[in-house]
Structure 1
Amino acid sequence: MKFAVLVFPGSNCDIDCFKAVEAIGEQVEYVWHTTTDLSGFDAILVPGGFSYGDYLRCGAISRFAPVMNEVKKAADEGKFVLGICNGFQILTEAGLLPGALIRNNGLKFRCHQTPLEVVNSATAFTNQYSQGEVISIPIAHGEGNYYCDDETLAKLQANNQIVFRYAGDTNPNGSVYNIAGVSNERGNVVGMMPHPERAMDQLFGSEDGKRMFTSILNAWREQHGAAVNG
């Protein structure tokens, strides 16, 4: 399996994503934002950071980068697309995911470990977790407050598109319905504010993020008639 890690001016979690893929033993390449061909990749990671300095609003400029046309094509083809933090913001701005990310309700940058409930363990990104499992994944954002209107929320619930919620009463940013991550209707595009690529080893506080990357690998191998070894 081959992963692409997109790089925009201002990305700062691209290396973390690259190392996360290396940790599960798969191929990975950095892909610059001007790239116009993603046909050689099976999965695309849109990393966190401050693309284009978060001018206008987070992700509002990056969504016009040439590579985003290719991300849309890849999503339409059923390839796996994961947007993390700023990547989540970019995917909502690009219309690949519903809703929007706005300023944290406390107007402060939040950076700490956060318990997440796995709301949908049947996606390509969560098949290695148990339904309802609470995992520990760090956050680092100032504009992670997920917002959508009541009609969109009802659709997300009806279609099982809510992938992660902040567990219990730990909502750090005011997100509607405690939402921390959502998918598109097809289930091959997911965006989340917490950083699984920073939870790959217990040495750093948690290894709960590793199963997100092995989930993607497992889903891809199932499509190609194999299973994850070990």
Structure 2
Amino acid sequence: MRFGVVVFPGTWSDCDFHYVISEVIRQPVKYVWHRDRNLADLDCVVLPGGFSYGDYLRAGAVAGKSPVVEALRDFVANGGYVLGSCNGFQILCEAGMLPGVLMRNECLQYRCQSTNLLVENVETPFTRGLRAGQVLTMPISHGEGKYYADVPTLAALKARQGIVFRYATADGQVVKAANPN
């Protein structure tokens, strides 16, 4: 699989993703500049974390209008895979490629900690090696990580198994207290 890691002004985890893809999973990877429009030689595009364009306006709002994100629409329509992490997920929501929005954490504080995620869907290219019901401990780092979608949108996501992970306790209970946002 050929990967591209997008670099926006303000991105900070692009090097981490590049390293993991090239050195850990040993797949071909290249950097893709935010002004690039040609994604034809890639199978998967990664939108990493950081503060794209300084997150002026809102997290991911400016990047969501960039040339590479416009090209990403055709890439996805033609079967390409996309992974949005942190600011990358926010960019996908701002671009309208994912439903819902990310808002300020309820506590109004930046969160940088480990948290538990319950694996809900193992039928994606990114989760096939996991077990449904498995609990992963993962790092989070964000101030705008509170996902919001209206009731019909959430129902549609559930119906098509579009919810891949949920915040949970260490024993897999999905409760409000387990959500750090």
Same fold (TM over 0.5): yes
**Which letter does structure 1 place at the counterpart of 2:77?**
D
Q: What TM-score do the two structures reach when normalised by structure 2?
A: 0.94
The separation in 1 between residues aligned to 2:19 and 2:79, in whole angstroms, is: 24
Q: After the TM superposition, which residues 1-230 of structure 1 pair with which residues of structure 2 at under 5 Å, given as runs?
A: 1-22=1-22, 23-168=24-169, 169-173=177-181
Q: What is the deviation of 1:108?
A: 0.4
TM-aligned CA deviation for residue 122 of structure 1: 1.1
> Does the residue aligned with 2:164 lie in a helix, a strand or coil?
strand
Identity fraction in percent: 50
Provide the rounded CA distance (Å) in 1 between the counterparts of 2:4 and 2:41. Answer: 9
- Give the letter aligned to residue 179 of structure 2: N
- C-alpha separation between the residues in 2 aligned to 1:166 and 1:154? 18
Distance 2:67 2:123 in 1: 32
Letter in 1 for 2:119: V
TM-score (norm 1): 0.74
**Per-residue deviation, 1:157:** 1.0
Distance 2:31 2:62 in 1: 20
In 1, the alpha carbon distance for the partners of 2:104 and 2:132 equals 29
Kindly state the Cα deviation for residue 64 of structure 1 after the two structures are TM-superposed: 1.1
Q: Structure 1: which amino acid aligns with 2:13?
A: C
Q: What whole-Å deviation, never above 9, does each CA across 1:122-142 have from its counterpart, x for those lacking one?
A: 111100000110011100000
Residues matched between the structures, number: 173
Pairwise CA RMSD of aligned residues?
0.7
Q: CA deviation at 1:19?
A: 1.0
Unaligned ranges ≥5, structure 2? 170-176
Deviation of 1:89 after TM superposition, in Å, equals 0.3
Instruction: Point out where structure 1 has 5 or more consecutive residues left out of the alignment.
Output: 174-230
Amino acid of the structure 2 residue aligned with 1:118: V
Amino acid at match of 1:170: A
- Alpha-carbon distance in structure 2 between the residues aligned to 1:20 and 1:72: 25
